[in-house]
Amino acid sequence: MSRTDFIGAVFLISGVLLLGLVHVAIAIYVPSMAGWSEPPGKFNQAREDIMINFPYFLSIGLILGGIILFFMNKVTQFYHFMFRDEE
């Protein structure tokens, strides 16, 4: 396992855990809501009320960054295999 694979796996796992905890926090808060506005919905309104937007979008960024780092080596190997120069 190369270094980028390890860092990608750490980013991916931490992003998934953070996203799960954000969803748990929102699920705990939603029953105490009296009402919500229709266009954003109950999920977005709860996310804005408990001010958890930054961890939510950070977790999505960690997941995407982890996927990119984890599969970067495999994609470059596949690219060199498919499009190598024929001499």
The span from the CA of 58 to the CA of 76, in Å, is 26
pLDDT tens string, the chain, 87 residues long: the values are: 788 889 999 999 999 999 999 999 999 998 888 776 667 788 888 898 899 999 999 999 999 999 999 888 888 888 888 887 554
Which pLDDT does position 87 carry in this prediction? Answer: 47
Which pLDDT does position 28 carry in this prediction? Answer: 93
What is the domain range of residue 76? 3-82
Residue 87 lies in a domain: no
Which pLDDT does position 77 carry in this prediction? Answer: 83
Q: What is the pTM of this model?
A: 0.80
Residue 8 lies in a domain: yes
Distances (CA, A) of 61 to 19, 52, 76: 10, 15, 22
Q: How many domains does the chain have?
A: 1
The span from the CA of 30 to the CA of 56, in Å, is 16
Residue 69 lies in a domain: yes
